Chains A and B, each alone.
Chain A
Amino acid sequence: MDLMEVMRYGFVQRAMIAGVLIAAVSALLGMFLVLRRFSLIGDGLAHTTFGSVAVVLLIGISPLYVTVAALPLVIISSLAIYKLTSSRKINADSAIGIISSLGIAAGVVLASLSGGYNVDLFSYLFGNILTVNNTELILAFIVFVMVLAVVVYFYDDLFALTFDQELACSMGINTGRINILLFLLTAVAAVLAMKVAGIMLVSAMLILPALTALQMSMSFRKTLIAAVGFAVGAVLCGIIIAFILNLPAGAMIVLLNICFLSVVFVVKKLYVPRR
């Protein structure tokens, strides 16, 4: 089966478009999260997504709307992580751990209440980008536009906040507002990334492209663009390879991201002189 033939399928086109949008969103947000040592927030929110999906399935909402229906609980969880972190009494990693455990534990209990694990819940654990529906495609587009607008409009504030929160505060930047915005968008991105890579691999979508771009030691703006480039490249190649070889797309996308990181890391070690 050649590439043009693959691209003719409607579900492949939807997967490609949604994948590119979600990858770009995850990479943009991931850059700020990684640099602020919130790398594991994706993992925490993904686990919460598991709990949220369990609630949604228990209620009996149509699988078509599970992504949208899971959003409110995940958003509340991200705000809880923010609140716990900003209390200064709990470290970020501990706060993520608390919410993450709560999400998984609640998910398992609710799945059990609904009569045990079922196929639907497992499909969310490992994701399947090829099953993206029109609602999810529209949601991905809206979130992409929102994240792009926030990053462009608040670029200076996000840059300062990522560099040093106290310094940003002394510049009159409303760090609380920017933080909440970042956490809210991350929650939405985590729910969408679940569709691409599955709950188990959401954090990879957020972390890996940013980490790969950071190895290149470029300016902030160029690193952001490179992160998006790596993320989009991994999604497009991942979907095509997965479709042709009949392999799971989410895992293939994550493996390609790790492949990019390894190549950039090795090339930098071998060819870039230390200053």
Chain B
Amino acid sequence: MPVVRVDNLTFRYNGIDVLSNISFAVEKGLYLGIVGPNGSGKSTLIKNILGILRPEKGRVELFGRPLSDFRQWERIGYLPQRLSALNTHFPGTVEEIIQMGLSKKDQDTLTRTLKMMAIAHLGSRLIGELSYGEQQRAMLARALIRRPELLIFDEPTTALDPETREMFYSLTGEMNRQEGTTVILVTHDIGVIGEYARNLLYLDKKVIFSGTFKEFCSSRDMAGIFGPSSQHIICHQHDRTGGTI
């Protein structure tokens, strides 16, 4: 049973197709990288999978259940690219944000997660007072605290410093390798895709490519889109690390 299944999904905005007949499945334990140019519908696809947007037609299943029947949201950790409308005056502390929506609020787990993300000293600070990097760390802590079975990241490392970015990727790679956590990562960072992801979905309003890295590396179409040198770099990084390092 796939963790995520998308069948024939079409999403329109103002009468224009943003996504057209998208179909793919994500098996348990997979690290899937989703790439594509700006405006290709990557974030829209993620929002359709999570029920934030409603598709014009098509079907999404999470853990074998249709999206409309799915209730076990604690199995999913989501980190958006940027909080859609973070009010800098929002009076929520980092601790309140991380524990948001948890049915059982456990202090030990909270302390452990804060330490893991190196933000133990920020627990009582207001989220709006933090730098963007610190906010993203807090949001990642929120996504991870439930030890979810599926992690969905939408351009998570945009504007993060290299050290935090490295920490982010090694942590999620470790969770994927050691705990079998399924990861869906939307990113522009092609180097990271080669290093960590095992499968690749190339999107440009429709699925242009979906498959393993071996298939990607031998695809002439992808060489045409990425250029032979970029394709070579991605494939070289993947061969060196085998995906998820």
Contact = CB atoms under 8 A, between A and B. Distances in A.
Interface residues of A, number: 28
A211 to B, nearest CB: 9
B91 A214 contact: yes
Given A159-B100, A217-B126, A220-B96, A170 B50 contact: yes
Given A166-B80, A167-B80, A169-B52, A219 B90 contact: no
A172 B86 CA distance: 19
A217 B100 contact: no
Contacts of B76: 170
A72 B160 CA distance: 50
B92 interface: yes
Contacts, number: 78
Contacts of B97: 163
B52 A170 contact: yes
Q: Size band of the B side of the interface?
A: 20 to 34
B71 to A, nearest CB: 7
A37 B78 contact: no
A163 B92 contact: yes
A163 B91 CA distance: 9
Interface in B72-90: 73, 76, 78, 80, 83-87, 89-90
A128 interface: no
Interface in A192-220: 213-214, 217-220
Contacts of A223: 91
A165 B86 CA distance: 10
B40 interface: no
Contacts of B89: 35, 214
Nearest to A224: B91
A156 B101 contact: yes
A159 B91 contact: no
Contact of A219 (B47, B80, B86, B92): B92
B39 interface: no
B83 A219 contact: no
B84 A218 contact: no
Contact of B96 (A37, A170, A173, A219): A219
Given A35-B89, A159-B92, A220-B91, A171 B101 contact: yes
Given A163-B100, A219-B96, A170 B87 contact: no
Contacts of A165: 84-85
A160 interface: yes
Contacts of B93: 219-220
A220 B91 CA distance: 5
Nearest to B128: A217
Chain A at the B interface: SS class: helix
Contacts of B166: none
A217 B47 CA distance: 32
Given A167-B80, A170-B76, A217-B126, A156 B100 contact: yes
B51 A170 contact: yes
A170 B91 contact: no
Interface string B82-126: 011111011111001100110000000000000000000000111
A174 to B, nearest CB: 10
A35 B100 contact: no
A275 interface: yes
B71 A172 contact: yes
Given A170-B50, A170-B76, A173-B101, A163 B90 contact: yes
Contacts of A120: none
A204 to B, nearest CB: 18
A162 interface: yes
Given A214-B91, A219-B91, A223-B91, A164 B84 contact: yes
Contacts of B78: 167, 170
B86 A164 contact: yes
In the A-B complex, the 6 residue pairs with the closest CB atoms: A172-B73, A223-B91, A170-B50, A170-B78, A171-B101, A169-B52
Interface of A: 35-37, 156, 159-160, 162-173, 213-214, 217-223, 275
Interface of B: 47, 50-52, 70-71, 73, 76, 78, 80, 83-87, 89-93, 96-97, 100-101, 124-127, 129
Given A167-B80, A170-B80, 6 more contacts: A170-B50, A214-B89, A220-B91, A220-B96, A221-B96, A223-B91
